[in-house]
Structure 1
């Protein structure tokens, strides 16, 4: 994430941060490209003690600090296990957050139970980078996202997963690069092609010429939340699609309480 230009922004309600002392937390705190400076530039006041070591063994001090600051929205990069612990301890303290967002692990279906009958991810908001409803096709044969997800479920007996779209997009980019390179047996020639590739894939448009840094292409993101579903106990609902044209919004954002 690039730093935002300096400007006057309105003060918003305090936001609690649940970040570890490992790579995820360090990236989030980084002074330039991290989440923290970008959030502060938008007017968010972040409340977060020093990072915790995974797996977490106690988060009560953080819960007390969040409550004292009046921060009832929590943004995190916790594992599902640690998120379950946090939610259980917060409930014991009588300080259940109004909303939790998590950018890590939650691309997968909920599996870790926090209070005995509800996954830790239940009603937790997270990013959405691929679903069977995305308006994209496989550049190799025109297969739609819905067809890909259906074929995966039929072949494996398991539900579709978000990484499925990105995995297939990698093959699309590889085929494009090998077909386009002056010498497909020359690694430098293939790398040169990838560095200037602009391709419509099953995961959406990938453009290595647009940055944000050389040799990196970004994926369009939507906002989602794990909510009670019809086919499964919890399903990933799309709650905002501002950056993904044509992706249906399937639900409203629900509070934890």
Structure 2
């Protein structure tokens, strides 16, 4: 480093200036060296706001991941420290985008986002624009892929962003398998909101249900935050629907199902199949006596027969750790979030250089691994940038042990390795 003196200095002062300059150079070099030796992973999820149940266990999972990475990773013969920088989207799409951009400006090497289009899509778009490798999970892949501008039959417009998990094909197969367990008139009342999830499901799932012989009764898209569902309930009663399928946020479903009970709809419903809400014990417990026998679909369950390559934990061990530490019931988000961290860290390990965005992106594109949530294979589609995953038929039933409710597996068509543990119970049958 050159030091230019604009005027002659006293000998001692000249030495001071020179030493200060050299010290600054050493600090700068040390900082650059530290940056080169530290992998930074950005992580965004909804820890607060209306989607907070999705993020409730994320702090615990991040603790497990940081403990597993405490000694760093050796990749291609070089050792790196690993830093995970996590942020709360507050369930706000604009904030998710803003936080992603801030993390990118801080020099992250890999971006991870989990749970719902409101969190994932804005983070994916910001990462794509900046050329930062990105992986996400826990939303229908169609809402991620087509919801961000991809077109059926055309080349993928995405170079940097990847998503794994269930899609409408898995949802369709699970629902058909689950609904066949109880005899119904095959009339399905659907409640699909005017959002990325609802619009993708309406466009893809509803036609397939009709092709399978179900009559879909659709009162039209409703706006998130709707407080009066009287018109939808009246239509479902008039059409004598025996199955209801809905993809709302938790407060909207609670309002709908309480009103449905007040107006007598619940007495004719044999299967109430919900998604996006009803995934967590608290979603069901707030409904009181209306909660048991609500059907769900699990993108992870503690009985999944897989192990985390990052932590070495299987599902039962992870669930027990959570319950022991918190005293609260395990949730499916434990394994879902850990599977994302499994995938992210494996991509870094498999890259030729974890500090090269291109190398990390290429490692993701060629990834075929098994996480605690099951296989993640980006080499086989169903479309570029996407790896499909299972979603398993499940149901909330009255608890037989410590907790008020048990979350049981009722069918396994999308992953036969997952054991079925309970028969599907008819909702309106005592």
> TM-score normalised by the shorter chain: which range applies?
0.7 to 0.9
TM-score (norm. length: structure 1): 0.86
Q: Secondary structure at the match of 2:353?
A: coil
Aligned partner of 1:154 in structure 2 is 324
- Report the CA distance shift for 1:91/1:153 in structure 2 as closer, same or farther (over 3 A): closer
* Distance (whole Å) between structure 1 residues aligned to residue 195 and residue 208 of structure 2: 20
Q: Runs of 5+ in structure 1 lacking a partner?
A: 5-11
1:100 aligns with 2:272: yes
1:58 aligns with 2:231: no
* Distance (whole Å) between structure 1 residues aligned to residue 315 and residue 264 of structure 2: 42
| Equivalent of residue 237 in structure 1, options 405, 408, 413 | 408
* Distance (whole Å) between structure 2 residues aligned to residue 184 and residue 93 of structure 1: 58
1:101 deviation in Å? 0.5
Return the index of the structure with the highest Cα Rg: 2
1:228 deviation in Å? 0.7
Aligned partner of 1:167 in structure 2 is 337
1:207 aligns with 2:383: no
Q: Secondary structure at the match of 1:179?
A: helix
Q: Secondary structure at the match of 2:281?
A: coil
* Distance (whole Å) between structure 1 residues aligned to residue 424 and residue 228 of structure 2: 29
Is the contact made by 1:222 and 1:241 (CA closer than 8 Å) also made in structure 2?
yes
TM-score (norm. length: structure 2): 0.53
Q: Secondary structure at the match of 2:339?
A: helix
Aligned partner of 1:253 in structure 2 is 424
1:84 deviation in Å? 2.6
1:91 deviation in Å? 2.6
Q: Runs of 5+ in structure 2 lacking a partner?
A: 1-167, 173-184
Is the contact made by 1:87 and 1:114 (CA closer than 8 Å) also made in structure 2?
no
* Distance (whole Å) between structure 2 residues aligned to residue 156 and residue 206 of structure 1: 30
Is the contact made by 1:181 and 1:189 (CA closer than 8 Å) also made in structure 2?
yes
1:113 deviation in Å? 6.0
Following TM superposition, the consecutive aligned residue runs of length 4 or more in structure 1 with deviations greater than 3 angstroms are 110-115
Q: Secondary structure at the match of 1:249?
A: coil
* Distance (whole Å) between structure 1 residues aligned to residue 380 and residue 280 of structure 2: 29
Q: Secondary structure at the match of 2:331?
A: coil
* Distance (whole Å) between structure 2 residues aligned to residue 157 and residue 171 of structure 1: 24
Superposed CA deviations along residues 73-110 of structure 1, whole A, max 9, x for unmatched, are 10001233332332232233333222110111222113
Is the contact made by 1:106 and 1:126 (CA closer than 8 Å) also made in structure 2?
yes
**Bigger mean CA deviation after superposition, 203-212 or 20-29:** 20-29
Is the contact made by 1:20 and 1:78 (CA closer than 8 Å) also made in structure 2?
yes
Aligned partner of 1:43 in structure 2 is 213
What is the aligned length? 244
Q: Secondary structure at the match of 2:219?
A: coil
1:141 deviation in Å? 5.2
Q: Secondary structure at the match of 1:110?
A: helix
Q: Secondary structure at the match of 1:225?
A: strand
Superposed CA deviations along residues 93-142 of structure 1, whole A, max 9, x for unmatched, are 33322211011122211346676x33x54311111121221111122353
**Bigger mean CA deviation after superposition, 135-144 or 43-52:** 135-144
Is the contact made by 1:49 and 1:62 (CA closer than 8 Å) also made in structure 2?
yes
1:194 aligns with 2:367: no
* Distance (whole Å) between structure 1 residues aligned to residue 223 and residue 383 of structure 2: 31
Is the contact made by 1:226 and 1:235 (CA closer than 8 Å) also made in structure 2?
yes
1:21 deviation in Å? 2.2
